[in-house]
């Protein structure tokens, strides 16, 4: 059970990965919509631009509605339009419009509508050629294509229509792989039998309503039909046949000589939309009136469709704009002619999935091993890599690579890994806080013990006074004053290298040794000799002590001292003249002394003089202006004291450095001697 708990993050990741893979495999609509984001992004960022087109759109626009009235118009209008266009010798004319009922303005329809019974009138009107017939004649005399739409509901006006294109297949039956509608809707039978082609204008249902692709071939009532764009190309190039090549997966390629078009296994064609061209449109009213340059239609594919708002033939495209439905078919024709269509290789699904799994696993694994700032860099590098791969393949091969779902998988797995890392680090931080709290308690306890080691010298403060202000919980500095007779005292002030608990322990060792030896009233040189050797034997690796050891007599006012590697001792007389006595020995605890004679002491008389010792925390301490105090600063403080006493000297130095800063640079420790007043203070009186 414990090994499972150890790898529970990876188990959860593995289960999440299986879920994400399953979603991509089953590919429900909301997953498709994620993939479509990247497909649309390619075309938005790298749009296809053209200055000219081989397709001209005769537009049933607002201007035309104003000219001819409410749609549908009389067939004679369309007959005139075809007649005028045919004079320019177009390659093909296609209608994105249905003519499923007889023209209401035809003579026979007028007779029925108005119930005209006069024999002469009936004979006259029936001899007039009808609008439908005029329109049919123009369709018959031109390379025209009418629209057919797939339907799930039977239409009362439908008949057993057939495709005009002849399909030849190789490698299988395309009917097994195409989309199928049980019924179809189209135009009048006599009109459809007069045209050269019938083209589907059916779009597959899209969850977001954006037309990204359409079936290049599909079935209506078990018969195969080409899409409008493909049928226009076939008719325009005077081809009778369409060739369908299949492999073991499905449809591979559809050809209309000399063009070979790659599709997906179901014959789906992905459209590469160009930026709309105003020059591609011409108003239907202008064509009807003959108000156009005939060269504009020469050798061009002509589509007739509607852009007027009231006719509701508008569709959304990946470019983020809305276009008339007829322009979708125009883009299909252009894509076929210049091979600018997009590809969606069915085998790419496996590559996308494997790539997503690898990148997701690497990102998750690194998120567990690296710090968040580094794993975040890996995440962004992975994102950029996926994006670069997708856009590179789109630019070089016009192939659609789904980068949205890999990015989705990458983001989900990375955030999951980041969450697990956050939980782990939060747990570690909590443990560290508990350890810190425990250490803090121990340091506070050690600090309290250490404070108890400092002597209470308040009764001696008339002639000797000292203070210690630790920078941390435990100080590495120490001072001590010991009375060894009626008039004689031993003292020391020391600074241990380093800080914290270890320095405090080292200091405690040195101080206890000094106090024990001093109480035995050994000569000062012997005390220093024994303290040094004891510290050396303690083997605190790499640590040492700088110290001033001394003894003074309040009667003779003489002080004997040893400076072992410490700061210079300051001596000041009543006229504020300063003398600094430097160290003549190395710090203790470094080398072992082999004889007491190795310890050199010095004796001076303190009559009308003050003797001041301090650690480097004093000279290197920061003032409120950010500068160090230095020895000159100590001189300044002493000079500013009118009536010099040991307590005034020490308290003035301490207050100058301990001005309210959150964290001291180093421990502040200072000791001062002045033997002009050697009375011992009665504690009880002082307390009262």
Residue 571 near residue 515 (C-beta atoms within 8 A): no
353: confidence class by pLDDT, cuts 50, 70, 90: confident
2: confidence class by pLDDT, cuts 50, 70, 90: very low
User: Per-residue pLDDT tens for 419-436?
Assistant: 887 877 788 778 788 777
Neighbouring C-beta atoms of residue 632, cutoff 10 Å: 11
User: Can you tell me whether residue 307 is helix, strand or coil?
Assistant: coil
Distances in Å between the Cα of 431 and the Cα atoms of 7, 98, 425, 437, 455 are 20, 77, 10, 10, 38
Pairing of strands 301-306, 55-60: parallel
- 51: which 2 tokens? 């200055």
Look at residues 437, 453, 469 and tell me which one is the last residue of a structural domain.
453
User: Per-residue pLDDT tens for 48-100?
Assistant: 999 899 999 999 999 999 889 888 888 999 999 999 999 999 999 999 999 98
The reply to whether 655 falls in a domain is: yes
Measure the CA–CA gap between 601 and 378, rounded to whole angstroms. Answer: 67
Average pLDDT over residues 644-663: 86
Residue for token pair 């968040």? 372
CA torsion angle for 376, 377, 380, 381 (degrees, to 10)?
A: -150
Is there a cis peptide before residue 72, judged by omega within 30 degrees of 0? yes
Say if residue 511 is in the same domain as residue 615: yes
The reply to whether 344 falls in a domain is: no
Pairing of strands 144-151, 92-95: parallel
Which of 123-127, 406-410, 457-461, 536-540 shows the lowest mean pLDDT across its residues?
123-127
- Per-residue pLDDT at 124 exceeds 60: no
Say if residue 430 is in the same domain as residue 539: no
Say if residue 300 is in the same domain as residue 367: no
The reply to whether 218 falls in a domain is: yes
Say if residue 328 is in the same domain as residue 474: no
- Per-residue pLDDT at 105 exceeds 70: no
Q: Which helix (H) or strand (E) holds 569?
A: strand 569-573
Which of 369-373, 448-452, 551-555 shows the lowest mean pLDDT across its residues?
448-452
Say if residue 583 is in the same domain as residue 637: yes
Look at residues 425, 453, 481 and tell me which one is the last residue of a structural domain.
453
- Per-residue pLDDT at 619 exceeds 80: yes
Which of 123-127, 262-266, 289-293, 608-612 shows the lowest mean pLDDT across its residues?
123-127
The reply to whether 354 falls in a domain is: yes
Neighbouring C-beta atoms of residue 686, cutoff 10 Å: 10
Residue 519 near residue 577 (C-beta atoms within 8 A): no
The reply to whether 101 falls in a domain is: yes
Average pLDDT over residues 627-633: 89
User: Per-residue pLDDT tens for 512-534?
Assistant: 888 888 888 889 999 999 999 88
Say if residue 446 is in the same domain as residue 503: no
User: Per-residue pLDDT tens for 276-300?
Assistant: 999 999 999 999 999 999 889 999 9
Q: Which helix (H) or strand (E) holds 125?
A: helix 119-127
475: confidence class by pLDDT, cuts 50, 70, 90: confident
Distances in Å between the Cα of 441 and the Cα atoms of 243, 471, 474 are 87, 17, 12
User: Which residues are CB-contacts of 400 (< 8 A; sequence separation ≥ 6)?
Assistant: 38, 39, 42, 270, 342, 343, 344, 394
- 275: which 2 tokens? 């930026």
The reply to whether 343 falls in a domain is: no
Distances in Å between the Cα of 354 and the Cα atoms of 25, 347, 349 are 12, 12, 9
Say if residue 657 is in the same domain as residue 571: yes
Say if residue 210 is in the same domain as residue 151: yes
Percentage above 70 pLDDT, the chain: 91
Q: What is the CATH number of the domain that holds 572?
A: 3.60.40.10
156: confidence class by pLDDT, cuts 50, 70, 90: low
Look at residues 427, 453, 479 and tell me which one is the last residue of a structural domain.
453
pLDDT at 267: 94
Which of 190-204, 499-513, 542-556 shows the lowest mean pLDDT across its residues?
499-513
User: Per-residue pLDDT tens for 226-263?
Assistant: 999 999 999 999 999 999 999 999 999 999 999 999 99
Percentage above 90 pLDDT, the chain: 50
Say if residue 134 is in the same domain as residue 240: yes
Domains identified in the chain, total number: 3
The reply to whether 441 falls in a domain is: yes
The reply to whether 71 falls in a domain is: yes
CA angle, residues 547, 551, 556, in degrees to nearest 5: 145
Greater confidence, 672 or 27?
A: 672
679: confidence class by pLDDT, cuts 50, 70, 90: confident
User: Per-residue pLDDT tens for 175-195?
Assistant: 999 999 999 999 999 999 999
pLDDT at 24: 84
Average pLDDT over residues 384-388: 92
**Averaged confidence pLDDT in the chain:** 87
Say if residue 40 is in the same domain as residue 79: no
- Per-residue pLDDT at 119 exceeds 60: no
Average pLDDT over residues 646-666: 85
Which of 154-158, 197-201, 586-590 shows the lowest mean pLDDT across its residues?
154-158
User: Per-residue pLDDT tens for 314-349?
Assistant: 899 999 999 999 999 999 999 999 999 999 988 888
- 310: which 2 tokens? 């009231």
pLDDT at 4: 47
- Per-residue pLDDT at 121 exceeds 60: no
pLDDT at 1: 45
- Residue-range definition of the domain harbouring residue 42: 1-48+349-453
Measure the CA–CA gap between 553 and 209, rounded to whole angstroms. Answer: 105
Say if residue 120 is in the same domain as residue 3: no
Say if residue 265 is in the same domain as residue 276: yes
pLDDT at 590: 87
Count of H-run helices and E-run strands, the chain:
21, 28
- Per-residue pLDDT at 39 exceeds 80: yes
Average pLDDT over residues 215-226: 94
486: confidence class by pLDDT, cuts 50, 70, 90: confident
């Amino acid at each position: 059970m414990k090994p499972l708990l150890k790898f529970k993050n990876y188990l959860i990741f593995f289960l999440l990965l299986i879920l994400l893979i399953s979603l991509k495999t089953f590919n429900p609509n909301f997953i498709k919509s994620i993939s479509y984001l990247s497909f649309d992004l390619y075309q938005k960022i790298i749009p296809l631009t053209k200055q000219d087109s081989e397709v001209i759109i005769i537009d049933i626009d607002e201007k035309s509605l104003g000219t001819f009235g409410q749609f549908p118009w009389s067939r004679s209008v369309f007959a005139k339009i075809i007649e005028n266009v045919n004079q320019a010798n177009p390659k093909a004319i296609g209608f994105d419009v249905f003519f499923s009922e007889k023209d209401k303005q035809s003579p026979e329809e007028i007779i029925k509508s108005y119930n005209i019974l006069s024999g002469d009138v009936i004979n006259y009107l029936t001899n007039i050629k009808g609008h439908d017939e005029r329109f049919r004649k123009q369709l018959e005399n031109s390379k025209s294509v009418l629209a057919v739409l797939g339907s799930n509901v039977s239409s009362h006006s439908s008949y057993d229509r057939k495709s005009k294109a002849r399909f030849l297949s190789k490698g299988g039956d395309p009917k097994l792989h195409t989309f199928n509608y049980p019924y179809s809707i189209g135009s009048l039978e006599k009109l459809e039998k007069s045209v050269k082609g019938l083209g589907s204008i059916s779009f597959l249902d899209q969850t977001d309503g954006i037309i990204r692709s359409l079936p290049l071939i599909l079935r209506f009532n078990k018969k195969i039909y080409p899409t409008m764009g493909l049928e226009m190309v076939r008719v325009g190039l005077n081809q009778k046949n369409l060739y369908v090549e299949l492999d073991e997966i499905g449809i591979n390629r559809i050809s209309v000589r000399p063009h070979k078009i790659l599709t997906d296994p179901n014959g789906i064609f992905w459209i590469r939309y160009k930026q709309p061209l105003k020059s591609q449109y011409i108003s239907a009213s202008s064509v009807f009136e003959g108000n156009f340059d005939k060269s504009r239609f020469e050798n061009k594919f002509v589509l007739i469709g509607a852009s007027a708002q009231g006719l509701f033939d508008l569709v959304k495209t990946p470019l983020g704009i809305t276009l008339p439905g007829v322009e979708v078919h125009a883009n299909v024709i252009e894509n076929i002619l210049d091979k600018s269509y997009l590809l969606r290789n069915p085998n790419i699904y496996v590559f996308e999935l494997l790539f997503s799994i690898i990148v997701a696993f690497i990102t998750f694994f690194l998120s567990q091993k690296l710090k968040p700032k580094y794993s975040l860099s890996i995440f962004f590098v992975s994102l950029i890599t996926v994006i670069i791969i997708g856009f590179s393949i789109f630019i070089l091969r016009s192939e659609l690579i789904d980068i949205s779902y890999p990015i989705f998988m990458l983001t989900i797995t990375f955030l999951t890994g980041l969450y697990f890392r956050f939980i782990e680090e939060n747990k570690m931080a909590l443990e560290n806080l508990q350890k810190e709290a425990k250490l803090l308690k121990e340091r506070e306890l050690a600090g309290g013990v250490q404070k108890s080691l400092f002597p209470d010298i308040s009764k001696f403060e008339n002639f000797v006074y000292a203070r210690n202000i630790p920078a941390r919980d435990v100080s590495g500095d120490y001072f001590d004053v010991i009375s060894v007779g009626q008039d004689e005292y031993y003292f020391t002030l020391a600074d241990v290298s380093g800080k914290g608990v270890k320095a405090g322990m080292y200091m405690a060792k040195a101080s206890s040794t000094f106090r024990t030896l001093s109480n035995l009233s050994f000569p000062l040189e012997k005390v220093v000799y024994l303290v040094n050797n004891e510290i050396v034997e303690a083997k605190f690796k790499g640590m040492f002590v700088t110290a001033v050891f001394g003894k003074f007599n309040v009667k003779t006012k003489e002080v004997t001292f040893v400076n072992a590697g410490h700061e210079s001792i300051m001596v000041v007389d009543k006229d504020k003249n300063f003398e600094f006595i430097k160290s003549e020995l190395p710090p203790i605890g470094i080398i072992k002394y082999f004889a007491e004679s190795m310890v050199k002491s010095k004796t001076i008389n303190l009559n009308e003089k003050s003797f001041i010792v301090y650690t480097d925390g004093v000279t290197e301490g920061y003032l409120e202006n950010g500068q160090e105090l230095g020895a000159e600063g100590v001189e300044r403080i002493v000079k500013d004291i009118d009536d010099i006493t040991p307590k005034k000297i020490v308290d003035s130095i301490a207050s100058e450095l301990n001005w309210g800063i959150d964290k001291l640079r180093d421990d502040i420790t200072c000791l001062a001697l002045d033997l002009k007043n050697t009375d011992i203070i009665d504690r009880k009186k002082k307390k009262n």
